[in-house]
Amino acid sequence: MKTALYLRVSTQEQATTGYSITGQEEKLRAYAKAKGFGNIKVFTDAGYSGSNTKRPALELLIKEVEQGKISNILIYKLDRLSRSQKDTLYLIEEKFLKNDVPLISLSESFDTSTPFGRAMVGMLSVFAQLERENIKERMIMGREQRLKKGLWHGAGGGSGRVAGYDYKDGKLVINEYEALFVRRMFQLYVEGEGYFNIYKKLSKEMPGVIKEPSNISKLLKNPVYIGMIDYNGEIYKGIHEPIIDEHTFNTVQKLRQTRTVNRDMSITRYLLPKLLKCGYCGENMIGKTGSKKKDGTYYTYYCCYSKEIKRRKKHVDSNFSLECDSVYHTAQLVEDKVINEVMNLDSTKIIRDYETKDDDHIIYEKQIKDIDAKIEKLMNLYIDSNIDKKTLDVKYKKLEDEKHLIEKTMRDSKVDVNKEVVLKHLSNFKDIDWVDDREALKNSLHILIKDIRIYNDSMKVNFNI
């Protein structure tokens, strides 16, 4: 294997500093001789900047490192490798150390084969993170300056385009075809149409503008259509031309609030939102109101959210696949079964189960502490050069795998709700008025139950015990 000497100097540095190629090579050869490093190969990038890693000699060096041809890399100074903290750290961690090739910098007495050298890598990591944070801050400041000038922060700036406009020369310009779609969308909503019906109608009238029914809701509340720009909750005056007048936009926002309140009131009909999961695809089961009964009430069902969304899409595209096998479930029947299971719970058995799980968790926590101690001992052996990196990686991975398995077991057996809270709700459950106090009933069910998996012909209730 070879000892690599990496030399670099930019055109400007050759004229203004003492970093000549010849000078670097002489010093590095003398160091290699003193350390007993033989079989020298020189990699030279003359006239190349250190601002990036696109340098022919560096690329060849990396290739030979990955091929296992290099045993050590010597450089005169860290900035000969790169002037970017980020690139320096990347080369050391991802290219050199991963291939068990130490990097030695003569000027900084930097040697990644020693504990001090590895500590220096950690310091480089901190400075690289600081560099990234500074770049991020400059980007945010630049975006805020654009917003203050009324310029769109979307296409070309990370947030994508918005229906109704094209992005040209850094500005939003009305797309006449899509603008017709937007005006029609606002009109239909004012006329009382819901999101899905608007999507269905406009997908036929003007196909291709949006892809999902949920996009309608987002577009209707976007102030970009009245000449404003929303960024992180702050509203800025844009320089682009509005598509919708303010009166229409404000009317739609009031209607959206009213319909949201009405929808929230209807949700209280259902006791099991977020608890009830589809046994086939794992999605939430949602409440769905059907036709009106003779007594003035409505038929209510639970259906798989994923399948319901896909079923709606199938109305628009007959070739769309539904995939999930779930069917509609009568809400009253499902809720009665769940309530009966709660009523049949044995509080004495629950207390015993809690005590067993508490004991198990004490054992798990001790096992994790023991593994952490082994990992710390292993790291100390590596830092003191008593084991090599390959041995460290193998043993560390084994310990981490053991730890993750125990942590997963703890999570799976974890009780999300305090024992006293569960027992209190269980003891009060029989006293709840199931007809007139639906909110209290719903609250208790959500305290007592972790989740419910429902299939077409069966159901599994998982309690918080």
pLDDT in tens, 409-437: 777 666 545 566 777 777 778 777 766 67
Residue 327 has pLDDT above 60, yes or no: yes
- Using the predicted structure, report yes or no on whether residue 198 has a pLDDT greater than 50: yes
Among all residues, which ones are annotated catalytic? Answer: 10
SS3 for the chain, per residue? Answer: CEEEEEEEECHHHHHHCCCCHHHHHHHHHHHHHHHCCCCEEEEEEECCCCCCCCCHHHHHHHHHHHCCCEEEEEECCHHHHCCCHHHHHHHHHHHHHHHCCCEEECCCCEECCCHHHHHHHHHHHHHHHHHHHHHHHHHHHHHHHHHHCCCCCCCCCCCCCCCCEEEECCEEEECHHHHHHHHHHHHHHHCCCCHHHHHHHHHHHCCCCCCCCHHHHHHHCCHHHHCEEEECCEEEECCCCCCCCHHHHHHHHHHHHHHHHHHHHHHCCCCCCCCEEECCCCCEEEEEEEEECCCCCEEEEEEEHHHHHHHHHHHHCCCCCCCCCCCCEEHHHHHHHHHHHHHCCCHHHHHHHHHHHHHHHHHHHHHHHHHHHHHHHHHHHHHCCCCCHHHHHHHHHHHHHHHHHHHHHHHHHCCCCCHHHHHHHHHHHHHCCCCCCHHHHHHHHHHHEEEEEECCCCEEEEECC
The pLDDT, as a whole number, for residue 155 is 42
Is it the case that residue 43 has pLDDT exceeding 90?
A: yes
Q: What percent of the chain has pLDDT over 70?
A: 78
pTM, to two decimals: 0.37
Mean pLDDT across the chain = 80
Mean pLDDT lowest for which of 125-129, 247-251, 290-294, 457-461?
125-129
The string of pLDDT tens digits covering residues 356-370 is: 665 667 787 888 899
- Interval 228-240: pLDDT, tens: 988 777 788 888 9
d(CA 100, CA 388): 9
Q: Average pLDDT of 140-159?
A: 59
Whether 63 shows a pLDDT value over 90: the answer reads: yes
Q: How confident is the model at residue 320 (pLDDT cuts 50, 70, 90)?
A: very low
Percent of the chain predicted with pLDDT > 90: 25
- For residue 351, what pLDDT is reported? 62
Q: How far is CA 261 from CA 254, 258, 435, in A?
A: 11, 5, 22
| Comparison of pLDDT for 170 and 252, the residue scoring more | 252
> Region 18-26: what's the mean pLDDT?
81
**Lowest mean pLDDT across 80-84, 105-109, 346-350, 380-384:** 346-350
What is the band of 56 on the pLDDT scale with cuts at 50, 70, 90? very high
Domains of the chain plus CATH, in order, are: 2-132 (3.40.50.1390), 165-267 (3.90.1750.20)
Confidence of residue 141 (pLDDT cuts 50, 70, 90): low
Q: Is the pLDDT of residue 11 over 70?
A: no
Select the highest-mean-pLDDT range: 110-114, 133-137, 334-338, 422-426: 334-338
**Predicted confidence (pLDDT) per residue in 249-265, tens digit:** 998 988 888 766 555 44
329-343: average pLDDT: 90
Q: Which pLDDT does position 158 carry in this prediction?
A: 38
Q: How confident is the model at residue 397 (pLDDT cuts 50, 70, 90)?
A: confident
pLDDT value of position 219: 92
Instruction: Compare 391 and 226 and report the one with higher pLDDT.
Output: 226
